[in-house]
Every structure is written in structure tokens, then in C-alpha cells.
Structure 1
């Protein structure tokens, strides 16, 4: 018997000794890539989607973006807790499956509100997929590989942003429905690879089911807030006050649930870690600015400069390419200066790029001298700030809170996108009045620049424990 066991041990040694770390990183990052690619592609397709549903307002079409982001944000935290309890590989595969099937449904949506509904389901899949994927990186890789893997995972957003506009522009020329269909074959391939390559390591932690009502309150509160913002120019004052009241009450009840529920959706202990708190505040401010900035440039080029979808995609590419390049520079700078300073510098460069576009923009649009320089500068700042702040956010958290902590960070990220898009749509209103386009876009860009500066201030509080003197 011992001989048989020994023989089996010898036979399996090559497979045991083979380090699967690189393959695991690629599988997890590929899934994150298609989830983020979808976000950037839909931004480019936004105008085309609106045109295919005549009679729908800009505020109505904005729910294709905000419906996704709100549900994604609200479900990230409970999904992270569930992946802690039932296994991160299982969560990863379930989330990827839901996301892939919902993408196919989006491609055949017969109406705008059906598209929004399928986007909500797609968001639920992404909410399960994201924390489970990051949790896998944090737990199944050798400790020495984790920092680099997390930074690579965070950088996939930059790569998706670089490919998204071009891919989206090309696909939209045929039909905006293709921007969802592209997820299907990629999702299938990544799912098969994950089944074969990713180990199912469970830490056997006793993680109780989270407070689902708390997650519902987040959806209600943020949904009411964004609805009130995008309907600012359409609704009466009493209706807007009612939406605001629902948002405020939802937030208050959510806080009460956190403080009193035996297993809250967000453990209060997380917010006793200063690095985590400041990083989340910075992520929220940064992504509010980023959400409005990216969509505003796409809309400016398509609606005011009258670029085609392909031309818009190509015009957007230089900014995300700058993001990808300088995402590699940020980690090197953190070896010479505090993480918070690097993130603050990135936010200030982001604001400077936006300010440059704000002050030089005119009609007719001259892309090369009015848009491109500021777009590149903002890309440099985003590249320095985004992956660095995400990588630093969970550094001081205990391992058993890793998936939940990463879910909170990504929740702040998505809430920022919701607020950014909602405020931008509220500012832009209707673009039918051409002579007001420059004025309203400048107000939108001023908002972006101010919020980016706020992010620079909060970033100074991001200092992981091992870098404190």
C-alpha cells in the first residue's frame, strides 16, 4: 500500500511542482478585461444606442450605463462575502457564466428598457466575478507574486480602456449589438481555462451570509440619487425633492444596518483601517471625475465634432495608451516617495489635462490642438493614480477580509462612475441646442477638474502600514 502511494506521489510530482501562477493571473485578468472592456465599449456606443431608440431622452439612455453601475456597486460587497464563504473559484465561474449569458441577451434586446434589464443581470454577474477573481489572486498565489498580480489585475482597466474605443468604434459601425456579442466567445474560452487551471482552495472560514437588505438599500439610495440627478431638467421640484429624500433615507438606513446588524454587508472594522478609508474616499472622487470625463469626450467628439464611431474610437485611444504606459511608472515612483503622494500627483495631472481642454475647446472642434494635448495629460495622471490607489487600498487588511475589502473598493469605484455619469447627463441635458453645447460641456469639465483635485487631497492619507515611519 505504501509502495502504491509512493508511486502515485512520484507520478504526480511534475504536475505538483509546475507553478501555475502565471496561468492563473492571465485567466483572472482576462475575465476582468472583458468586464472592463464592456464598460468602455458601451461608452463609445452610447450615442448609437440612443439613436436606435427614437423618442428616448438622454436621461433614459443613461440607464444603460447607470443601471449596470448601480447594481454592480450594490452587489459587489455581498458577492465578496459569499465568495469568502463558498469558494472563490465557484464564485468566479458563476459570475463569468452569468455575465456571458447576459451579454448575449443584451445583444438581442428588443427595447431600451429590455436592454437596461439585461444590463442589470450582466452587472450581477460582474459583481460576483470581480471580488472572486481578485480574491483568487490574493489567496492561491505565492505571497511574493501577489503584489505584481494585483497591479496587473488593476492595470487591465487601462488596457481595456485602450482597446475598448477602437473595438467599440469598429463594432458600432455594423451595429451596437456587436459590442455585447463580443463578450460571448471570450467568456466561454476564459471559463474553460479557469475550470482547468485555477485551483479550488478553500480557507474553510466560517463566513455568515451578509445582510442582503443592506445591499438593497444601496440600490435604492444610489438609484434614487442618480435618477434625481439625470431628471433635473425634466422633473418638477417636488419630484426631485422626493427622489432626494428617498436617497437620504436609504443612506441613513444603510448606516443603521451596518452598525446594528449582526452580519452587516460592510463590516465596520474595515473602516478602522486608515489606509483603507482614505483609499476608498480617493477612489470615489477619482472615479466620479473619470466617469464623467470619459463619457464627455466620447459625446463631444460624436455630437459636436461629428466624428463617426470609428473616428471617435481612434481619437480616444491616445489617452488610454498613456494610461497603460504610466501605470507601469507609478509602482516605480512608490519606491521613492509615499504612495499617497504618487496618487495625488496623478490626480493633479488628471485635473490639469481636463482644465487644458476646458480652456482651449471651441466650435468647430480642432481635435489636434484642443482635445488631444489635454486628453494625453489626463491619461498620464490616470495611469499614475488608478492602479496605485487600488493596489494600496487592501494592503493593511487581514487575509480573511481580502475579498470583502476588494469588493468595497470596487463598490466605491462603481459608485463614482454612477455619480460622474449622472452629474454629466444633468449638466448636458439635451444636446439639440448646438449653440449651447460648448457652454454646457465646459460646466461638465469644470466639475471633473474640481472633483479630481478633491481626489488629490484625499490621496495624501493613503499610507500603507509598512511605509509609515
Structure 2
């Protein structure tokens, strides 16, 4: 019996490592898809002649809207009915939807399949984090969660280059690459992942989640189509009015429903409320920055997809480096100061890009410096902000609060793309027009980042317990 103990321990250790690898691989795949599609954006437009920039933006917006709306209810359903089942279901849906995206005959079929992709990602993401927290021994959980969180930064770093290389073959490969990864992850997950569930959980308010999704979709539609329809047109005003009514109904519903989509008590915690406001503003700037620089490089500077990916990569490379630096810095400086500093750097980088916008693009002097500073700002702000949002909350509320913060994050991406499209109007056809449009876009991003720096100063947790 004594000789078998080390073997058993080793097997458990191997199983834990396999669990972390499988869950992080799937989460990485879901995040990578967001960034590779940014690089493929222009090529997708060329495949569907006659598609306007507002129409193309739904390839991004459809994904982020549905992902944001389903993240919390999908996580709570997985808690109740089984996290392994939720993870496997999401993985299968995401993989099959990826194959469908690659074969989409029209732009709107592609948008439809992106909605299915988002539903799969919304199912597997919270389930994967829940499995990390329940399947691993306590001493390995903290390290595993850090690895899981870093996959987002790694996806942002590798996504542009990967997308650029795949687009050289065809934009369809941006989606087809998910098939072998999804199949291998599914086979491994069935073997190594244990089942876990919370039998005490109750089904969340799914109609409330649907109401929020519809509200966000209509608001994004008004922003994206406003320049086409006219800002005073009845269609535009009707979209915004519908969104306001939908938001009011949603707020009323979460106050009265026994298992609300979002617990309103969370927003009575000042640090949490201000953190979500900051996340929304920050990710609005972040969501606009990536497609803005891609459009600039491909439509004005004339970069191809692989050159665009390589040009974008230095910014995301700064994120994991300065995320590590931020974790050390918060031991000496209040987290809200670190977040505000990162947001101000983001603002400064965007302002440099606005000042450098010209018809004759010089990457090394006009784009790279500002883009690097934006990467540094994101690295300092985003991980610290996500952690500060749940500091001081009771453990029972931490999981739901984390899902709410990630929902605010996705909503910011939706608003960023939608407002960018509203500012740009269309893909510029002349150099002089391009210069003015990109100046306006980068000043909008800089202003939003500056506002997020101001709201970050109000994030003052009641205590500093992790």
C-alpha cells in the first residue's frame, strides 16, 4: 500500500494538469476567434460585394451581443445541470458553428452562424472556470485560474498574426481552424473532466436575459444604421426609443423577479458599480481600437492581412508583460490608481494616433508608438480592473459578480464597434477623407479612455481581502 501512494498522487497530478490544459485550450479557442476575425474583416467584405461597413460590423457585433447576453444564464444553468455537460455542449456548438461560418453563402448567413458561435462560447466559458474551481485540489486552484485568465492575453497576442496567416489562404480558414482544436478538446474533455453541479441553484430569469439581448441589439442597430438612415429618421429614433423602453423593463424585471438575471443588490456596492462603469467605458475604447487600426492599415496604408497581423502584434505583446507588472504594483499602490494610470496611457496612445493620422501612412513613426502605449495601458488597467470589481464582495456573490463584469466587458466591445461605425460612416474611398475620419475615430477612443480613467478613481473597495 505504501508503494502505491506516490503513483496515485502522480496520477492525480497528471489529471489536474490535463484538466487545466483542456479547459484553457477551449477558452483560448473562443477568445482567439474574436481577434482573428478582426484581421479578416476586410477580406470578408470583399467576398460579399455590396456589403457596407455597417452591415459588416454585425459579423463582430452579433457575436459580442449574444455572448454578453447569454454569459450569466449559461453559467448558472451549468452550475445547476452540470458543468461538464455545459462545457461539452458549448464546445460542440462552437465547433459546428465555426464550420458553418466557413461555408456561409451570404453575409447574413455568416452573421447567423456567428450568433450560434457566440452561444457556444457563452456556454463553455463560465463552465470551464467553474470546473477549474471544483475539479482541482485547493492548492492548485489559484494558479490554474491565473493560467486561465492569461489565455485572453495570449489570444490577443497571437490572434492578429494567426488571422493574417490564415487569411492568406482564405478568410474561411479563420473559422475552419477551430475544427481540429474543437474535436481534440472534446475527446480529451470527455475523458479527463469530472462532472460537478450545484444542486441548490435555481434556474435564472432567462426571459430577462432575452430582453437584455434584444435591448442591446436594437441599441446597436440604431448606432450602426444611424448614419445610413439619418439620425433624425423615424427608424433611428424608433430604435433608440425601443432600447430605452427595453432597458427600463429589464431594470423593473430584475427588481421583482425571484432569481433575476442580475442581482440588483450588487450595484448597491459602490466599488462594484463604479468598476462596471469603468469596464464598460474602457472596453468601448478597446472594442473600437482594434477594428480602427485594422481598417487604417488595410484601407489606407495598403497592408495585406499578414502584414496587418504583424503590425498589430506589438501592442498586444505589451499586455501580458505589463499585466504582470501591474500585479506587483498593486501591492504598493491602490488598484484604482493603477487602473486610472493604465486608462490615461490608453488615452495618450489614442491621442498620438489621432495626431499622426495622415493620408501618407508611416507605420514606424505614426502608428507603432501610440499602439505600443495603448498595449501598455491595457496591460496595466484590464487585469487590475477585473480583479478590483469583485474585491470585498461576499464569496457567495463573487461568481455572479465576475459574470456581470464580463458581461459589461462584452457590452463595451459592442458599443465600441457600433460607435466606431457611426463615426466612420463607411470605408473611406479617398486619402483626404480617410485622414479626417480616422482622426475623429481616434479622438473618440481617446476621450472614452479618459472618461474611464476618471470613473476608475471612484473604485474604492471596502476592504482589500482577495
Q: TM-score of the superposition, structure 1-length normalised?
A: 0.93
Query: Which deviates more, 209-218 or 293-302?
Result: 209-218
* Match of residue 307 from structure 1: 303
* Match of residue 195 from structure 1: 190
Does structure 1 conserve the Cα–Cα contact (< 8 Å) formed by 2:27 and 2:125?
yes
What is the deviation of 1:342?
A: 1.3
User: For residues 385-404 of structure 1, what are the structure 2 equivalents within 5 Å?
Assistant: 385-404=381-400
Instruction: Please give the alpha-carbon distance, in whole angstroms, between the structure 1 residues aligned to 2:168 and 2:6.
Output: 54
In 2 relative to 1, CA 54–439 (structure 1 residues): closer, same or farther, beyond 3 Å? Answer: same
Instruction: Please give the alpha-carbon distance, in whole angstroms, between the structure 2 residues aligned to 1:383 and 1:81.
Output: 29
Q: 1:181 aligns with which of 176, 179, 199?
A: 176
- 1:336-371 deviation digits (Å, cap 9, x = unpaired): 112222111111111111111111221210000000
What is the deviation of 1:412?
A: 0.7
Does structure 1 conserve the Cα–Cα contact (< 8 Å) formed by 2:343 and 2:449?
yes
Instruction: Please give the alpha-carbon distance, in whole angstroms, between the structure 1 residues aligned to 2:454 and 2:19.
Output: 36
Q: 2:101 aligns with which of 101, 106, 115?
A: 106
Does structure 1 conserve the Cα–Cα contact (< 8 Å) formed by 2:282 and 2:449?
yes
Does structure 1 conserve the Cα–Cα contact (< 8 Å) formed by 2:282 and 2:448?
yes
Q: What SS does the corresponding residue of 1:110 show, helix, strand or coil?
A: coil
In 2 relative to 1, CA 24–406 (structure 1 residues): closer, same or farther, beyond 3 Å? Answer: farther
Does structure 1 conserve the Cα–Cα contact (< 8 Å) formed by 2:68 and 2:407?
yes
What is the deviation of 1:142?
A: 4.2
Instruction: Please give the alpha-carbon distance, in whole angstroms, between the structure 1 residues aligned to 2:5 and 2:16.
Output: 22
Instruction: Please give the alpha-carbon distance, in whole angstroms, between the structure 1 residues aligned to 2:397 and 2:365.
Output: 48
Pair 1:319 & 2:301 matched: no
What is the deviation of 1:422?
A: 0.2
What is the deviation of 1:258?
A: 0.3
Pair 1:34 & 2:15 matched: no
Q: What SS does the corresponding residue of 1:328 show, helix, strand or coil?
A: helix
What is the deviation of 1:143?
A: 4.3
Pair 1:443 & 2:440 matched: yes
Query: Which deviates more, 350-359 or 80-89?
Result: 80-89
* Match of residue 452 from structure 1: 449
In 2 relative to 1, CA 16–318 (structure 1 residues): closer, same or farther, beyond 3 Å? Answer: closer
Question: What do you get for the CA RMSD once the two structures are aligned?
Answer: 2.2
Instruction: Please give the alpha-carbon distance, in whole angstroms, between the structure 2 residues aligned to 1:255 and 1:283.
Output: 20
- 1:150-207 deviation digits (Å, cap 9, x = unpaired): 3332222221111111111111111100000011111122222222333323343x21
Query: Which deviates more, 396-405 or 185-194?
Result: 396-405
What is the deviation of 1:384?
A: 1.2
Instruction: Please give the alpha-carbon distance, in whole angstroms, between the structure 2 residues aligned to 1:315 and 1:89.
Output: 39
How many residue pairs align between the two structures? Answer: 462
Query: Which deviates more, 63-72 or 267-276?
Result: 267-276
What is the deviation of 1:146?
A: 3.8
Query: Which deviates more, 307-316 or 275-284?
Result: 275-284
Query: Which deviates more, 85-94 or 75-84?
Result: 85-94
Instruction: Please give the alpha-carbon distance, in whole angstroms, between the structure 2 residues aligned to 1:299 and 1:319.
Output: 16
Q: What SS does the corresponding residue of 2:228 show, helix, strand or coil?
A: coil
What is the deviation of 1:332?
A: 1.0
* Match of residue 422 from structure 2: 426
Q: 1:250 aligns with which of 243, 246, 250?
A: 246
Query: Which deviates more, 411-420 or 154-163?
Result: 154-163
Does structure 2 conserve the Cα–Cα contact (< 8 Å) formed by 1:276 and 1:396?
no
